[in-house]
Amino acid sequence: MTKKRAWTLAVPVMALLLLAAAAYAAGVPAEIKMQAPYEHKKSIAVFTHQKHAEDYKISCGECHHDDKGQPLTNLKEGDPVKKCFDCHNKPGELKGKEAKGLSDKELRAYHANAVHENCLGCHKKYNKENKDKGKAAPQKCEECHPKKAKE
């Protein structure tokens, strides 16, 4: 990689890290609205961040990962992290014929594909391992995306 290209990549990354650090300086919110800058077909899911971390004992790296998809295992509360859309920045979701022939990596570039794969993958695994132990993690659309209220 040339020095010019390295600086071209390094400057925006450093700026994002500084912005993320400032945003998280006050602590991590209890809930995160999974909003992204495009029109959603369903209501916006609300991620219960604090509940997942504290009650369910899910480590940061279970959701936060590097550009190779590997867990960021050294994260702790308050560390700067990117939002999903910072990397998975193609709007919407591709399914069926639209998705045919695309690699998993290409599909994960789409925001909703990446979020659904991450959340649903974890929820399915949890439900399979804990099917006899009480409440199941949500897997149906309407469980995370309740119907929008009529105006």
Average pLDDT over all residues of the chain: 85
**63 burial via Cβ count (<10 Å: 0-12, 13-18, 19+):** buried
**DSSP secondary structure of the chain:** --HHHHHHHHHHHHHHHHHHHHHHTT---S-EE---SS--SSPPPEE-HHIIIIIS---GGGT-B-TTS-B-TT--TT-----HHHHS-B-S---GGGTTT--HHHHHTBHHHHHHHHHHHHHHHHHHHTTTSSPPPP-SHHHHSPPPPP-
Q: Check if CATH label 1.10.10.10 holds for domain 27-144.
A: no
Per-residue confidence (pLDDT) for residue 23, from 0 to 100: 46
Distance CA 12, CA 72 (A): 20
Confidence class for position 151, pLDDT limits 50, 70, 90: very low
Mean pLDDT calculated for residue range 54-66: 92
Provide, rounded to the nearest whole percent, the portion of the chain with pLDDT above 90: 64
Per-residue confidence (pLDDT) for residue 11, from 0 to 100: 61
Per-residue confidence (pLDDT) for residue 22, from 0 to 100: 46
Mean pLDDT calculated for residue range 95-112: 95
First-to-last alpha carbon distance for the chain, in angstroms, is 53
Confidence class for position 29, pLDDT limits 50, 70, 90: confident
Distance CA 74, CA 102 (A): 32
pTM: 0.74
- Provide the token pair at 140: 């149906």
